[in-house]
Structure formats: structure tokens, C-alpha cells
Structure 1
Amino acid sequence: MPPYTIVYFPVRGRCEAMRMLLADQGQSWNEEVVNKETWLQGPLKASCLYGQLPKFQDGDLTLYQSNAILRHLGRTLGLYGKDQREAALVDVVNDGVEDLRSKYITLIYTNYISFADYNLLDLLLIHQVLAPGCLDSLPLLSAYVARLSARPKLKAFLASPEHVNRPINGNGKQ
């Protein structure tokens, strides 16, 4: 039986880095997948430190907090630098990664839109009028335009005669 067990949701989330580390280091592990229904029932959540997953078991050692787990694996598998100085530098890099991850988490879990999105959408829609198909080879930008243009109130505005019949610019070129 593998010495490691990961208890987590059926997503990459906070566990994929440890899965990659274990796989690359030739380590095996068990996965206990927790579905939303089980999590919302409460007993598992109540048993977890800070009421959070992931939960990681290394033999009789149970750890929580993804970065504590990664540091443990780094120490255990020799991936934490050759001395204290290198370990400190690894910590600096990992903390930088966490800063980026927190921005990513804010982006994907916050339902907000900035004024810059409207400015970019306007420019991209103009490009599509002036050069139809110009975004065809750019799937991320195409998806961005589609996603924003599908917002109900914005979709209604974009379909309105006021928008459709308004010239793009004042020089008559369209």
C-alpha cells in the first residue's frame, strides 16, 4: 500500500503540484475523492484542521495546508535545496508563486468586470467589423469576446438599434 494518501475534491486545485511532484519522483499514492455532497454534509469538514482540504497522509502523519504538504515532501524527497540557504531561496520562490496563485484565485472566483474589459471588448468588436474572422486563430480572445458579449444586459445593448446603427467612427469608413 502506498505510503501517501491525498484527500481532496475531484479537481486539480491545491493538490496538483503535489501530485506532479510525487509522480515525477516515482512515488505512488492513494486518492480519496471528496464530492461536493459529502463535503457539505459536514462531518469530514469538521474533522479537518481549519475545516479545509487537502488532507495528506504520510503513514501516521496527517498534514493539512498545501504548502506545508509540499514543504514536507520537499524535505522528505530531497527537493528543498542542499542547505538552509537554498531552502530559504526555495521558500522565496514558493511564496512568489503563492502571490500569483492568490491573484488567479481572485480572478476565477470573483464575479467582477473592470472598465478595461469594456474598452478591450469595444476594440475587439470593431476589429471584427473591419476584418471579419480576425480572431478566428485566437481562441482565447474569441472566447473572451463571446463570454463578455453574452452577459445579459450587455448582450441586449449590443443588439439594440442604438448600438448596431451607430457608426464606428466619424470618417465614414466601416
Structure 2
Amino acid sequence: MPRGLWASPHSVLPSPTRSSPPPGRCEAMRMLLADQGQSWKEEVVTKDTWLQGPLKASCLYGQLPKFQDGDFTLYQSNAILRHLGRTFGLYGQDPQEAALVDMVNDGVEDLRRLCSHLIRHNYEEGKAQYIQGLAGHLKPFETLLIQNQGGQAFIVGDQISFADYNLLDLLLNHQVLAPGCLDPFPLLSAYVERLCARPKLKAFLASPEHTNRPINGNGKQ
């Protein structure tokens, strides 16, 4: 039985000219599953369905995404990512690497929260200031690459981790939000190109499941 993934309702905010929802918090999970050669069944919850209430009431925290594998159900996007990381051996090769993977993922989430606040609450007035400060938020990831085999491998160790997929999703989104934002970071730029060239991930990124999704729910970039 394929795994099930329910996309979060806040990502279903299509503009009048769009019919596909943005990636939301599920895109790193999709990348991971696709790159690992896994199949999954996805149900995108419409805003109308969510507002009816029963589905929201059935969710543990009253929110999505929701992940289901047989009788096992899991909520919270990062808990799902960590579970997939453990399941497929994408959580470092020892306790120290696992701790570093967690640290990277927390750093990704810090920047994701800032970006989400900009998109939802302060886009018109705050975008220029956000982009001006973006390099300071991206520099730690460049530093981590420098410290790990001179930036020729992954963000931690020499095997891909769940944090790589989460970071890649964030960086791809920022390349749309702020084209050229990775230009000052040659290792990050090469890292994105290297990950996107992985055959199964490359095929997913070129598929309608990815390309037909707008970046943001507010219809802006």
C-alpha cells in the first residue's frame, strides 16, 4: 500500500488565474520520497472542505499535513520528515551527524518562518528589506558546506539527509523570490545544481506534480 500524504489547507489559496495549489509544507517530503524511489498517494484538501470542519476536528493539532503509512498516522511536517529520514537511512551515520542534521533542519525552519511571514503579512512593504538581509541568513549554510569536505558533498556528511531536501526546497523557492540570491555563495549554488541533477529528483522536479505548483499562495514571487 502506498503511503498517504494530505497537503495542508493553508497552501490551497489559488488566485483566480490558477487551479493548482502551492507546494506548502509537503514539497520536501515529495522530493525525499521521489528521490528514494518511493510511491505515495496524495490528497490535496480544498479550502472549502477544510472550512467545513470535520476534517480539521479529526486532525490531532487541527492542522495538516498528515502522513499515513498503513495504520501509522503522523502530523507535523518536521516530525514527518524526521520519520522518513529514519525510515530510509537519511539521518546521518552516527549520533553526531544526526545532531548536525537536526541543527541544519532547525536553521532551515528559522528562515522558512521568516519567509512565510513576509509572504503572508508584509509582502509589498517588506520584500526589499527581506532580500537585503537574506545573505546573512544564507551564509551559515555556505559555512556548513565549507566545513564539510570543502562543499563537495552534502550539507552534513557524505550521504544525503532529510535536511538536504528541506534546504533544497527553501533555496529553490528563494531563487524565485530573489533571483541571484545564491550568486555570493558559490558552494550553495553548486549544491543546488548537484542535488537537482540526481536522476530521480531531476525527474520529479521536471514533472507536472512540481512544475504546475505556484511558489506562493499569495500569487506573488
Q: Same fold (TM over 0.5)?
A: yes
Distance in 1 between residues matched to 2:177 and 2:100, nearest whole Å:
35
Choose the corresponding residue for 1:94, options 82, 92, 105: 105
Q: Does 1:103 align with 2:114?
A: yes
Distance in 2 between residues matched to 1:61 and 1:67, nearest whole Å:
16
Question: Once the 2 structures are TM-superposed, how far is the Cα of residue 140 of structure 1 from its aligned partner?
Answer: 7.7
Match of 1:14 in 2: 25
Distance in 2 between residues matched to 1:67 and 1:23, nearest whole Å:
17
User: Post-superposition, which runs of at least 4 consecutive aligned residues in structure 1 deviate over 6 A?
Assistant: none
Q: 1:44 to 1:88 in 2, by over 3 A?
A: same
Distance in 1 between residues matched to 2:30 and 2:177, nearest whole Å:
27
Consecutive unaligned residues of structure 2, counting only runs of 5 or more, are 9-20, 130-175, 179-221
Q: Secondary structure at the match of 1:49?
A: coil
Computing the radius of gyration over CA atoms, which structure comes out larger, 1 or 2? 1
What's the CA shift string for 1:102-140, capped at 9, x where partnerless?
A: 0000100003625x77xxxxxxxxxxxxxxxxxxxxx98
**Higher relative contact order, structure no. (Cα contacts within 8 Å, ≥ 6 residues apart):** 2
Distance in 2 between residues matched to 1:18 and 1:8, nearest whole Å:
11
The 5 A counterparts of 1:19-98 are: 19-98=30-109
Distance in 1 between residues matched to 2:118 and 2:177, nearest whole Å:
16
Distance in 1 between residues matched to 2:31 and 2:42, nearest whole Å:
13
TM, length-normalised to structure 1? 0.64
Q: Could you say what the CA RMSD is over the residues aligned between the two structures, in angstroms? A: 2.4
TM, length-normalised to structure 2? 0.50
Q: Secondary structure at the match of 1:6?
A: strand
Distance in 2 between residues matched to 1:62 and 1:106, nearest whole Å:
28
Q: 1:60 to 1:13 in 2, by over 3 A?
A: same
